[in-house]
Every structure is written in C-alpha cells, then in structure tokens.
Structure 1
Amino acid sequence: ETMTVIRSIFGGLAALAIGTMACAEELKLAHFSSTKYHLHVEMFVPLAEKLAEATGGATTIRVYPGGELGPGPVKQYDRVIDGVADIAYALPGYTASQFKKTLLVEVPGIVKPGVNKTEAIWNNIDMLDQEFRRVVLLGLWTAGDAMLLMHEKKIEALSDLAGLKIRVPSKNTGRLVEAWGATAVSMPITQVYQSLDTGVVDGVLVDASVLTSFKLGEVTKYITAGMNATNSVFMLVMNRDSWEALGADTQAKLTDLTGAEMSEGGRVTMTSASERALKKWVAEGGEVHTLSAEAAAEFNAASDSLAAEVIAELDAEGIDASAWAAALRQ
C-alpha cells in the first residue's frame, strides 16, 4: 500500500512536470544581424530574459540572429505574417507600400529638427492602427540622423551629387536623394559593403552606426552632414496568431516589456551606436564634412518641397497624411 502511495505521488509529480512542459511556450524572434549587433545585445536578448523572468519560464523567446530563419532583411515582415517567426525585427521601408503613413516620419521637414521622432510617434501611435492591423506592434523607433557616406567623392554642395548613385533604404529617402539630383538605388544594408567597394553605388544615405555594425567604415572615405536629416524607421512586430495563443496574462506581461519605453530604448541604443561608430571612424582617419549654412540651405529647400509633395499625394490616396504630420509636429 505504501509503494502504491509513493507511485501515486511520483506519478502525480511526473504528470505535473509534463503538463508544465506542455504549457511552456517558446517564441521565435528573427533578425538579420550578428550576435554582436547593438540591438541584439541591448534589446532582443534582454527582452527574452525579462519575459522568461516575468512568466517564471512559462514563456520564453529564442533569438535567431543572422538570418537563421531566412536570409536578408527584406522578407522579415513576411516571415512574421507567414508564421515562420513569431517576432521579427524589420524596417517598414522594405515594404514601403504597406507603411506609407508610418514612413512619412522619415521625410525631413515633417518633424521639426531636434524633436524626438520616436516619442512623437508613440504620442500618436493609435493613428497607425490601420497600417499595423496584420501584426501586433511591439516596437517602433527611429535611428540616428542619416548622413552621406561616400566611397570616394567628397560632397560639399548639392551640385556635387549630380550623376552619382546613392543607396537608400526606402521609397521616401529615394525621392529625397532624387530631389538632391542624385540617382537613388534601393538595396538591403547587407549588400551595401560590396556595392560601395565595387562602385555599384557611390555613397549611401544612412546613420553612422553602420560604419561599425556593417563595416562600412572600411569602404567610406568621406562623410557629409549638416543638412536636415532623415531618420530610418525600425520595428519589432509579432504574428497575431502567436499573440492570441499566449493568453491574457502573458500578453499583459509582454505589453509591459515592449511599446513606447522599449522603443525609446531602441532609439537611444541606435543613436549611441552611431555616435560611437563615427568617433571611432574619425579617430582612424575618416573625414567628416559639415555643410556650410549656404550649402545646407540648398539641401533643405529640396527636402522641404518633397515633404509638401508627399503629404499631398498621401492625402489624395485617402491616407490623411496632413493629420498625421500635424500630430507629429505638436
């Protein structure tokens, strides 16, 4: 009888353990960068650790770096939609037609210089519900100010860009570069090193963090800054079915760990990475040219005209860009 009781106890414990294991949920988070990437270290891994702690290990996140769930950044959003990944780090600019309103924030002149664009977005985040209806938005933030990273040619005036090919991350930045008189070339950041090195493109409009994170400092001779900046937009999104499977308690915990606060952390991380990378590149002999007031005014006049054009076009499509721009400017 004693043996029966012991077996019953151990059988119950085993059943409890199996039940706990069955209830445990591992979420797959995909990104396209290395494990040394600043957001891997400062956002993705800490998020996984915090969620495991908050749920007592019942829900965990496994981070898949370096395109392990599929190569390259362009298809990241689709991987979440298709359920290949539960969570993915992506750029709205790679699927620009689906995020026209969101990406308005990229255009110089939409938000006043010096304003925290990430904060402005989250102060009005409900206005983006329609664009993010297919996913659950966990994070949305902007990078540091974009600069012109040039392989060989020093840009000191707008006219210097004539005939040059400049890589851009999105449609809006492409239109900006075209307004400046250059030819815009769209490609994922993972292809830029080789394209600069072989002369496929002459330069790239991007924040300085890539000097280190994608080693573009090795193929960049000059950097030009001083014009009103564009800022690339980044997002962390989740598959809706994966979200619904979590249950209300875990959803609440994940919500607490993400959103505006995590997004501001992403902005700070990327801005700090840009500052560190630029300082290191200059220390190694790189040259930064800051435009004169007169030269900067030429760039800014072109970008101001573009802002008005994009708002009018989106309004005509029924996107109500005027209201979004006005909200961002408050």
Structure 2
Amino acid sequence: MNTLMKTVGLAAALTLSAVPALAETVLKLAHAAPETDLQQTMSIYFKEQVEARSGGSITVNVFPHGQLGNDAQMIDGARSGIIDIAISGLNNFTGLIPEAGAFELPFMFPSRDLAYRVLDGEIGQGVAAKFEPVGLKLLGFPENGYRNITNNRGPVRTPEDLDGLQMRVNNSKALNDMFALLGANPQQLPVAELYTALETGVVDAQDHPIGIVVSFKFNEVQKYLSLTQHAYSALAMVMNNDKLKGLSDAEQKIIMEVAAEAVAKQRELSVAKEEEMIAQLESEGMSVNRDVDAAAFQAAVKPVWEGFIDENGDALVNAIVAASK
C-alpha cells in the first residue's frame, strides 16, 4: 500500500511539474530623464497600472536617467527589441521620420491645446503610422513642453541677444537652423553631457522646457532664464512593434489604454507644475525674464519654416496651420 501511494504521489508530482507556469511578459521601459522628472512619474504610473490590470501577466521594469543608453541608443534598442518601450524627444526620431520635424518648427504651436489637438488627432496619428515601418508602435505623445533659453550672459529679449552665444542644441534641424540664423553658435550635445558642458564653459547657453531645467538642475550652472517659448517639444513613447503584437489582444488593449492615460496625466502635471517650477528656480537664485519680443522672434525665424518646406514639402505644415484657425 505504501509503495502504491508513493508511486501515485510521484506520478502526481511529475504531472504537476509538466504543467507550464502562467506565461509572464517582462517589459523594459527606458528614458533619459532623472527620477525627479515627470517622465519617471508617467513611467511609474504606466508600470503600476499595466501590472494591476494584466493581473500579473505583464511586469514592467523602469530604467530612468539613461541607464540603458542615450536617446539614440534607446531608440535603436526599441527597434531591435533589446528594449521594449522607450520615451524620448520627438526630435530624436526625425532621422527616421523626417516629416515629424514639422512639429518641432519654431512657433508652430501658439498654444498647448492646439498641440494636443494636432498630435492626438488625424494629423498626429498620420505621423504615428510612419513609426510602424521602422519597427515601432507609437503609444502616445507625452509633453516635454515649451522650450526656453538659459545662459550666463544676460536676459534674452530680442533675437539680437543670441548673437555669439555658444548654444547647446539637440539634433532638431529646425532648432539648429534657428539658432544659427539668429547668430548663435549651435553645438549638438547629448543632454546627459550638458550639465558638465555648461559648468566648464564648453557651451554657455541651452534651451529646454522648464521641467528639464529643474530635473537636470541646470540652474546650478546657468544664471538667466528667458521665457522665449520658441518651440513646443513633444516626447514620443514607443514600443517594439513585434513585442506588442506578440501579446494577447487583451494585453495589447491594456498597453494602449494605460499609455493614453499616462500621457494625459503627464501633460496635466506638466501644465500644473510649470509656474511652481519657475518660482522654485527664482527662489534658488535664477534670474527669470518674461520680457520677450515674441513677434520679433517669429519674424526672424521664417526662413527656418521655408527651409523645412523646401526639403519635406508643405502638406504637414499647411495641415497644422489650418488646424489652428
């Protein structure tokens, strides 16, 4: 009897061991911003909601502050599947999707509401579809925000105030063209290297949205902040397309729904916290200038729009302008 029971028990154990465990998908989500940035806030919301709604079938591990590489490396990683989800400035995708540069043109979006309508509507989704042929699924356009100029020379009130500044720029052709046109000396540097470059005088000026100035602590090495709001910068949250398609229909729905919610919440926080962050920068010793001749800047940068249209056509630019009327 004991032998029989042992045999039955062994058979049961072998049968149980042959049953596969519930399938679990582990996703790696990467971005370049510090943990204090709203990109991390959004990433944690995405992680918690996806894990909860999937009932544990999906786990999301978040890697902030460039732990998995700089922006170009993260995008390459997402395309190849080494990274599953990446959040990066939309400008970093314009090498793959040149027409997306229309969203980066100076003074393209006079209001955030217009930017949201365009990005979330038919125009933005038309550009979003162009991510799939390069191996990516666009999950949404979070907000980087309006770009403003910081430097150590003085307030920037007119285009002439940029003359001669050693200006760090990102890889947006439109912004490179803009600063060169206005007499600055643009130099491309990864954001991870920017603090040291400002501290050592390699460059003496840069432009970023307020949240990035705060989270990267550029106020420690920059004295003047001028609220030029010369360009609206969107982020792109992308996922390896094959990875997404490999999930069940229900899991894909969870990813897309949570991503949309995360983007909306991140935008709300970005707007709500902006004045608070400006006040923080002032309290920490930064001189904030709101006296900017926006009309003079807009007139001066018209050739940048013309250059973009010459290279990419006017369809997207005209569609965005029409949407603002």
| TM-score, reference length from structure 1 | 0.86
Any unmatched runs of 5+ in structure 2? none
Task: Name the structure 2 match of 1:276.
Answer: 276
Residue 53 of structure 1 aligns to a residue whose secondary structure is: helix
Q: Residue 296 of structure 1: CA displacement? A: 3.0
Name the SS for the 1:184 alignment partner.
strand
Match of 1:100 in 2: 98
- What is the match of residue 238 of structure 2? 237
Deviation, structure 1 residue 312: 4.1
Shift of 1:62: 1.2
- 2: CA distance, partners of 1:132 / 1:48: 23
Q: What letter is aligned with 1:150?
A: N
Q: Distance in 2 between matches of 1:208 and 1:228?
A: 10
Q: 1:284 to 1:111 in 2, by over 3 A?
A: closer
Deviation at 1:306, TM superposition (A): 2.6
**Once the 2 structures are TM-superposed, how far is the Cα of residue 163 of structure 1 from its aligned partner?**
1.3
**Contact 1:80-1:87 within 8 A present in 2 as well:** yes
Residues 245/152 of structure 1: CA separation in 2 closer, same or farther (3 Å cut)? same
Indicate whether 1:311 and 2:306 are aligned.
no
1:110-140 superposed Cα distances (whole Å, 9 cap, x missing partner):
3334534133211123311453122011121
Q: 1:323 to 1:300 in 2, by over 3 A?
A: closer
Relative distance call for 1:239 and 1:114 in structure 2 (3 A) is closer
Matches within 5 A, 1:110-125: 110-113=108-111, 115-124=113-122, 125=124
User: Cα offset for 1:238?
Assistant: 0.8
Question: Which residue of the partner structure matches residue 60 of structure 1?
Answer: 59
- How far, CA to CA, are the matches of 1:85 and 1:127 in structure 2? 25
Determine helix, strand or coil for the equivalent of 2:72. coil
Change (3 A) 1:304 1:263: farther
| Counterpart amino acid of residue 87 in structure 1 | I
1:198 alignment partner in structure 2: 200
Q: How many residues align?
A: 318
* TM-score of the two chains, using structure 2 as the length reference: 0.87
The residue matched to 1:270 in structure 2 has which SS?
A: helix
Residue in structure 2 matched with residue 173 of structure 1 by the alignment: 175
Deviations 1:179-236 (A, max 9, x none): 32212221121111111111211211111112321110101111112x4531222111
SS in 1 for 2:193: helix
User: In structure 2, what residue type is equivalent to 1:233?
Assistant: A
The equivalent residue for 1:321 is 316
Give 1:213-224 correspondences, 5 Å limit. Answer: 213-224=215-226
Q: In the alignment, which residue of structure 2 is the partner of 1:132?
A: 131
Confirm or deny: 8 A CA contact 1:147 1:208 kept in the other structure: yes
Structure 2 distance, partners of 1:6, 1:241, is 43
Cα distance in 2 between the residues matched to 1:94 and 1:283? 33
Distance 1:35 1:114, change over 3 A: closer
Deviation at residue 311 of structure 1 after TM alignment: 2.9
**How far is the alpha carbon of 1:94 from its aligned partner?**
2.6
AA matched with 2:313: D
Q: Secondary structure at the match of 1:29?
A: strand
Deviations 1:155-194 (A, max 9, x none): 2332221111211222211122223221222112111111
For the residues of structure 1 that align with 2:85 and 2:291, how far apart are their CA atoms? 40
Identity %: 24
Which runs of 5 or more structure 1 residues have no equivalent in the other structure? none
CA 1:5/1:269 → structure 2, altered by over 3 Å: closer, same or farther?
A: farther
Deviation at 1:25, TM superposition (A): 1.0
